[in-house]
Structure 1
Amino acid sequence: MIVAFLNQKGGVGKTTLALNLAGEWAVRGKRVTLIDADPQGSALDWSQQREHEGLPRLFGVIGLTRDTLHREAPELAMNVDHVVIDGPPRVAGLMRSALLAADLVLIPVQPSPLDGWASAEMLALLREARIYRPGLAARFVLNRCGARTVLARETAETLVDHDPPVLSSTIGQRIAFAAVAQSGRLVSELDHDTPAAREIAALVEEIERLGIGRTA
């Protein structure tokens, strides 16, 4: 499966989710490659920090900020179980290529009114990609949900019949995510029984229940 984390807006947590999703699959015995398609290179920085700390390599991280992702990612996917793409903010050509590469597009958003979540441009690009990839699946992921979850619950209810719909798994606003990012670690490496680790595990399990695979 090729999963792409995409959103035109920066700072919504794409890299954090991509790294921890890849890491959770890796600790479950899956072969995973993460593609850093963000020109800022945050996932590559994380990988280098992990190496500097002397931590074991769980999955490969490759920098690919080219609009040929739709050709290169499927080739990489032939040698692993999953490819995770950490997508770019507001780079239309690269975004289109990532959309065409993906089997599943995850759009991280913070709980807020719907109009503030995804730009019309992002959804237009998704519709455009589905012309060429009719089977392309997409979901919103509620990220950085505060302790008061009323807004998250209300927005999730709003999206029940929306396209794309929202995953039921939500990710909290937790210090653990920021702390591990700086040290080249994953939340599951701190403690498998923390709320952050349980949320990532639930996200992985929900994605797997979708039963999405590569289609032509």
Structure 2
Amino acid sequence: MIVALLNQKGGTGKTTLALHLAGQWAREGRRVLLVDADPQGSALDWAAQRARSGSGRLFGTVGLPRETLHREVPSLAGDVDHLIIDGPPRVAALMRSALLAAEVVLIPVQPSPFDGWASAEMLRLLDEAGLFKPGLTARFVLNRCAARTVIARETAATLADHDPPVLAATVGQRIVFADAARTGRLAAEINADSIAADEIAALAAEVGRLAP
């Protein structure tokens, strides 16, 4: 299964979700590879911090911020159960390549007015990729979400009948995710009984059911 986390807008939490999905599946015994396709290399930085802290490797991480990503990913995916692409913001050529490489596309968004974060360019690229890959599956993911706020409820309601639809699983704005990014660990490693760990497990389970 090849999953790409993409959004033209920066700051939506793509890397956090990519790392935690990879970690959740690895902890469940799957073979996982994370491809860092963002020129900023945040996932690679996290992996380096993890190595320095001696936490032990859970999954492989490679950097491939190249427009040839869609030609290189298939050979990498053959050796793993799940390949996750942490995509770039604002780089259309890289985004197209990631879309062509993926089987499932997750678009992380934060609760906010619809026209504030539903990138027309992102949706246009998704439609364009669908011409070449009619079986491509896409879903919005509500991230950094305070579930009980009015705006979160309104955003979920707006997306309920949207195409692509929104996943039922949501991920909250949790301090533990910042700690995980800083220390090279996962939320579940910091606190296995945390709400954050439960949210990631639910997200991974729902995304897993989208497998082609």
TM-score normalised per structure 2: 0.98
Question: Which one-letter code corresponds to 2:187 in the other structure?
Answer: V
- Please say if residues 8 and 89 of structure 1, whose CA atoms lie closer than 8 Å, have aligned partners that are also in contact: yes
Q: Tell me if 1:5 matches 2:14.
A: no
Amino acid at match of 1:35: V
Once structures 1 and 2 are overlaid, which stretch shifts more, 192-201 or 139-148? 139-148
Q: Which residue of 1 aligns with 2:97?
A: 97
Please give the alpha-carbon distance, in whole angstroms, between the structure 1 residues aligned to 2:20 and 2:192.
12
Q: What is the deviation of 1:146?
A: 2.4
Q: Counterpart in 1 of 2:30?
A: 30
Q: Tell me, in whole angstroms, the C-alpha distance in 2 between the residues paired with 1:41 and 1:158.
A: 33
Deviates more, 1:147-156 or 1:177-186: 147-156
Question: Is the CA contact (8 Å cut-off) linking 1:26 and 1:32 kept in structure 2?
Answer: yes
Asked whether the equivalents of residues 141 and 169 of structure 1 are also in contact (C-alpha less than 8 Å), the reply is yes
Contact 1:9 1:118 in 2 (8 A): no
Q: Distance in 1 between matches of 2:189 and 2:198?
A: 12
Deviations 1:79-101 (A, max 9, x none): 00000000000101100000000
Tell me the C-alpha RMSD between the 2 structures: 0.9
CA distance in 2, matches of 1:6, 1:118: 12
Give the structure 1 partner of residue 106 of structure 2.
106
Amino acid at match of 1:164: P
Given that residues 147 and 153 in structure 2 are in contact (C-alpha distance below 8 angstroms), is that contact kept between their aligned partners in structure 1? no
Instruction: Judge conservation of contact 1:147–1:173 (CA < 8 Å) in 2.
Output: no
The secondary structure found in structure 2 opposite 1:185 is coil
Instruction: Provide structure 1 residue ranges, at least 5 long, that are not aligned to the other structure.
Output: none
% identical equivalent positions: 70
1:108 partner SS:
strand
CA contact (8 A) 1:22 1:33 kept: yes
Structure 2 counterpart of 1:67: 67
- Structure 2 Cα separation of the partners of residues 188 and 71 of structure 1: 34
Give the letter aligned to residue 181 of structure 2.
Answer: A
Matched positions, count: 212
In structure 1, distance between residues paired with 2:136 and 2:143? 22
**Alpha-carbon separation, structure 2, partners of 1:131 and 1:184:** 38
Identify the residue that residue 183 of structure 1 maps to in structure 2.
Answer: 183
Contact 1:47 1:184 in 2 (8 A): yes
Task: Give the CA deviation at 1:154.
Answer: 1.8
SS of residue in 2 equivalent to 1:203: helix
**Structure 1 length-normalised TM:** 0.96
Match for residue 50 of structure 2?
50
- 8 Å CA contact 1:113, 1:155 repeated in 2: yes
Change (3 A) 1:49 1:14: same
